[in-house]
A and B are shown apart, each in its own frame.
Chain A
Amino acid sequence: MSVATSDTAVRTGVLTRAIIYAVLVVFAVYYLLPLFVMVVNSLKPLDEIRSGNMLALPQTWTIEPWLSAWGTAQIGVDPTGLKPYFVNSILMVVPAVAISTLLGALNGYVLTKWQFRGHRIIFGLMLFSCFIPFQIVLIPMARVLGIIGIAGTTWGLVMVHVVYGLGFTTLFFRNYYDAFPTELIRAATIDGAGFFRIFQRILLPSSGPIIVVTVIWQFTNVWNDFLFGASFADFDSQPMTVALNNLVSSSTGVKEYNVHFAGAILAALPTLIVYIVSGRYFVRGLMAGAVKG
């Protein structure tokens, strides 16, 4: 979609074009403003925020808030900073993304190239699972995690994210493999290649783009999740989003806005970097999640 093949050929005057550019730039400022506020104020000493202008550049530049947010800020009961929670998020995201992507690829392969009776219903049921409000599963999930014995652990969160990510990963791969020529598969079957061999040798080598899209989608979703983290994590397995919220909303002591902003950027950094590095794929994932086909 990102390839602009045919721009609309509307005739516009110089004045109209100037207005169009002005409007577009104003909106660019609007979208950038909160990020600007976060960055600028994370580099100011606290009293400069309290007495000064939030939109002004720092008079005294300091990275103290960043160091505090990362290593020493009070979160919950301990002055640990966000660092351990950042690690928690990484430990949660990597297996969750890997497992759900792999399963999604296999599911998409089966649902397009090895169709059997009822494949449509199965896909429909998996697809609907993407959209359910997770409030409907919170109570039983809390119990099941307890029964399995992984309540409050990172592995518990990994499992939850794999389960509720499966619908989307399956959707992505299904739509991608759907367009893959079935004749190639048929020919390979006649040559005696089996189920896994075909997957490994024929489909997987050409799945690069969709793997990237799926990994980015899952990474963003799992990293940004708050509800599951807040519901199912213990103090020592809380992800970054939950820790950030604890940091910002803790009612004790002075509100260290600059530390909050630095923490917010730290929490946003991984997904922002992914977005900047591979924006094209990010958009594709978003679109594929919304517009099937």
Chain B
Amino acid sequence: MTVHNQLRGTLQDYLPRLVLSPSFAVILLFVYGFIVFTGYLSFTGSRMLPSFELIGFDNYVRLFSLRHWSTALTNLAIFGILYILICIFLGLGLAILLDQKIRGEGVLRPIYLYPMALSFIVTGTAWKWFLDPGIGLENVMHLWGWESFEFRWIKDRNFAIYTIVIAAVWQSSGFVMAMFLAGLRGIDNEILKAAQIDGASNWKLYRRIVIPMLRPAFLSAFVVLAHLAIKAYDLVIALTNGGPGRATELPATFMYSYTFTRNQMGVGASSAVIMLMMIASIIIPYLYSELREKRT
């Protein structure tokens, strides 16, 4: 009886760890093991199939000498900066306006936010034809009598990347609005009333008091948007498929085409490692500070 109880006792002690261990093992293997594997491949001469012969940093040297890669990085910089700035600007603006005791807020808010429920492939399809000069916006303006109206960015090598920004902003800005709105609703009204009694104008009130208090929301929005920008893949595939030419290539599409269609797995792996490093440099400090805050 006592032996039985003891056994039961130890089993109970280990049960929680036992329950957690399959998930943790899976994460260790499929996330961290795979990261190590891809990291290793990036130092090998793998082409169509993985090879395990190390060749040093050659893939990285090649990667950064490729014009496609520098196009992808430049595009990521343009896309990322505009996407983040416009989303934050729009999101904050809409949140502040919605926070003015708006009648119909319950209708407007879901309308701003629903694109977030859609797949990027759906968003891409919708915008692809809407921005198409033949049948979309340009054609509509011509039919409405504005004959000289021209909007063919999606067909233009120099401007196609901005159409990705347009569609991505449409998809995510409502979400950023929701984040700022939650932040605004968390601010104590007494502080605002006190400032108003002191005679602060609305503009000053927001610039000096409200917006600085939204710091955590800014940080979260930035982290979420930055990591979405680095991972952006589906939207480009659906909207422009990387074109015209290679004009809208991003690191994610570069990695895919080098690894799976051009059979340069080593180079593809090294580009994936660079993507991981970009994301890690944003996410790790963020998670670290979030988790540490919780402890205290």
Query: Which residue numbers of A lie inside 8 Å of B, CB to CB?
Result: 1, 4-12, 17, 20-21, 23-24, 27-28, 30-35, 37-38, 41, 49-50, 52-55, 103, 106-107, 109-111, 114, 116, 120, 122-129, 131-141, 143-144, 163-164, 166-167, 170, 194-196, 220, 223-227, 230-231, 241, 244-245, 248-249, 257, 260-261, 263-265, 267-268, 271-272, 274-276, 279, 282-283, 286-287, 290-293
Q: How distant is the Cα of A6 from the Cα of B190 in the complex, in angstroms?
A: 10
Report the contact-size class of chain B (Cβ under 8 Å from the partner).
35 or more
Q: How far is the CB of B170 from chain A (nearest CB, A)?
A: 7
Q: Which B residue sits closest to A139, measured CB to CB?
A: B38
Q: Which B residue sits closest to A227, measured CB to CB?
A: B233
Partner of B136, one of A54, A116, A127, A275: A54
Q: How distant is the Cα of A283 from the Cα of B255 in the complex, in angstroms?
A: 32
A34 adjacent to B196 (CB under 8 Å): no
* Residues in chain A near residue B108, CB distance under 8 A: 24, 28
Partner of B20, one of A122, A230, A267: A122
| B residues 255-295 touching A (CB-CB < 8 Å) | 255-256, 259-260, 265, 268-269, 271-273, 275-276, 279-280, 283-284, 287, 290-291, 294-295
B26 adjacent to A166 (CB under 8 Å): yes
B178 adjacent to A286 (CB under 8 Å): yes
* Residues in chain A near residue B188, CB distance under 8 A: 6
> Which one of B51-59, B60-68, B125-133 contacts A?
B125-133
Known A10-B202, A106-B19, A114-B16: A124·B287 in contact at CB below 8 Å: yes
Q: Which 10 A-B pairs have the closest CB atoms?
A: A114-B16, A224-B119, A275-B117, A34-B126, A226-B234, A135-B272, A137-B34, A1-B182, A129-B31, A140-B34
B185 adjacent to A290 (CB under 8 Å): no
Q: Which one of A8, A226, A267 has the greatest number of beta carbons of chain B within 10 Å?
A: A8
What are 25 of the A-B contact pairs (CB < 8 Å)?
Answer: A7-B100, A8-B100, A9-B189, A20-B100, A28-B111, A35-B114, A54-B139, A123-B291, A128-B284, A133-B275, A136-B275, A139-B268, A143-B50, A163-B26, A167-B27, A194-B12, A195-B15, A225-B119, A244-B121, A257-B135, A264-B126, A268-B119, A268-B122, A286-B116, A291-B217
* Residues in chain A near residue B140, CB distance under 8 A: 53-55
Q: How distant is the Cα of A136 from the Cα of B230 in the complex, in angstroms?
A: 13
B113 adjacent to A8 (CB under 8 Å): no
The B contact surface, by secondary structure, is helix
B184 in the interface (beta carbon within 8 A): yes
| B residues 229-261 touching A (CB-CB < 8 Å) | 230-231, 233-234, 237-238, 241, 251-252, 255-256, 259-260
* Residues in chain B near residue A120, CB distance under 8 A: 291, 295
Partner of A260, one of B20, B123, B125: B125
Q: How distant is the Cα of A154 from the Cα of B193 in the complex, in angstroms?
A: 58
Q: How distant is the Cα of A129 from the Cα of B28 in the complex, in angstroms?
A: 9
* Residues in chain B near residue A134, CB distance under 8 A: 231
Q: Which B residue sits closest to A27, measured CB to CB?
A: B94
Partner of A271, one of B119, B134, B231, B238: B119
Q: How distant is the Cα of A17 from the Cα of B255 in the complex, in angstroms?
A: 49
Q: Mark B1-37, 1 if CB is under 8 A from A, else 0.
A: 0000000000010011101101110111011111101
Query: Which residue numbers of B lie inside 8 Å of A, CB to CB?
Result: 12, 15-17, 19-20, 22-24, 26-28, 30-35, 37-38, 41, 50, 90, 94, 97-102, 105, 108, 110-123, 125-130, 134-137, 139-140, 143-144, 170, 174-175, 178-179, 181-182, 184-185, 187-189, 192-193, 196, 202, 205, 210, 216-217, 220-221, 223-224, 227, 230-231, 233-234, 237-238, 241, 251-252, 255-256, 259-260, 265, 268-269, 271-273, 275-276, 279-280, 283-284, 287, 290-291, 294-295
| New A-B contacts (9) at CB < 8 Å, excluding given A9-B192, A195-B19 | A9-B193, A35-B126, A54-B129, A109-B19, A114-B15, A135-B275, A271-B119, A287-B182, A293-B290
* Residues in chain A near residue B268, CB distance under 8 A: 139
B129 adjacent to A260 (CB under 8 Å): yes
Partner of B23, one of A28, A41, A126, A241: A126
Q: Which A residue sits closest to B241, measured CB to CB?
A: A249
* Residues in chain A near residue B119, CB distance under 8 A: 223-226, 241, 244, 267-268, 271
Known A129-B27, A241-B234: A137·B94 in contact at CB below 8 Å: no
B234 adjacent to A286 (CB under 8 Å): no
Q: How distant is the Cα of A110 from the Cα of B18 in the complex, in angstroms?
A: 10
B189 adjacent to A226 (CB under 8 Å): no
* Residues in chain B near residue A37, CB distance under 8 A: 126, 129-130
Q: How far is the CB of A139 from chain B (nearest CB, A)?
A: 6
* Residues in chain A near residue B184, CB distance under 8 A: 8
* Residues in chain B near residue A257, CB distance under 8 A: 129, 135
Q: How distant is the Cα of A114 from the Cα of B184 in the complex, in angstroms?
A: 36
Q: How distant is the Cα of A55 from the Cα of B210 in the complex, in angstroms?
A: 40
Q: Which B residue sits closest to A249, measured CB to CB?
A: B241
Partner of B117, one of A28, A244, A282: A282
A31 adjacent to B115 (CB under 8 Å): yes
Q: How distant is the Cα of A226 from the Cα of B221 in the complex, in angstroms?
A: 24
* Residues in chain B near residue A110, CB distance under 8 A: 16-17, 19-20
